[in-house]
Amino acid sequence: MPRIMPLHTDITLRIAALLALATCATALAAPTPRSVQASYNVTMNGTPIAVMNETFEARDGTYRITSESVPLGAVALFQKPALAVSSGHVAAEGLRPERFEGRRIGNNQQLKAEFDWAGERLTFGRDGKTETVTLGRGTQDRLSIMYQFMYQSFDKRDRLEVAMTDGRRLARYQYTITPNVEIETPLGRMTTLHLVKQSDPDASSNEIWLAPEHHFLPVRMVIRESNGTRYEQVVNRIEIKSASK
Q: Higher confidence at residue 39 or residue 21? A: 39
Share of the chain above pLDDT 90, in %: 66
Q: Does 245 have pLDDT greater than 90? A: no
Q: Does 15 have pLDDT greater than 90? A: no
**pLDDT at site 202:** 66
Quick check: 163 and 22 in contact, CB under 8 A?
A: yes
Range of lowest pLDDT (48-52, 107-111, 233-237): 107-111
**pLDDT at site 74:** 83
What's the average model confidence in pLDDT over 204-230?
93
When pLDDT is cut at 50, 70 and 90, the band that residue 244 belongs to is: low
Q: What is the mean pLDDT of the chain?
A: 85
**pTM assigned to the model:** 0.83
Quick check: 67 and 10 in contact, CB under 8 A?
A: yes
| CATH 2.50.20 at 33-238, yes or no | yes
- Count CB neighbours of 216 within 10 A: 23
DSSP string across the chain: -PPPPPTTTTTTTTT------SS--PPPSSPPEEEEEEEEEEEETTEEEEEEEEEEEEETTEEEEEEEEEE-GGGGGT---EEEEEEEEEETTEEEEEEEEEEETTTTEEEEEEEETTTTEEEEEETTEEEEEE--TT-EETTHHHHHGGG---TT--EEEEEEE-SS-EEEEEEEEEEEEEEEETTEEEEEEEEEE---TTS-EEEEEEEGGGTTEEEEEEEE-TTS-EEEEEEEEEEEEETT-
Domain boundaries, the chain: 33-238
**Strand 129-134 and strand 121-126: pairing?**
antiparallel
Convert the pLDDT of each residue in 189-205 to its tens digit: 999 999 999 877 667 78
Helix spans in the chain (H): 144-148
Convert the pLDDT of each residue in 30-46 to its tens digit: 578 999 999 999 999 99
User: In the structure, how many helices (H) and strands (E) does the chain have?
Assistant: 1, 15
Range of lowest pLDDT (69-73, 175-179, 230-234): 69-73
- Count CB neighbours of 17 within 10 A: 28
Q: Higher confidence at residue 23 or residue 91? A: 91
Convert the pLDDT of each residue in 89-148 to its tens digit: 999 899 999 999 997 655 567 899 999 999 999 999 987 789 999 999 999 999 999 999
AA letter at 45: N
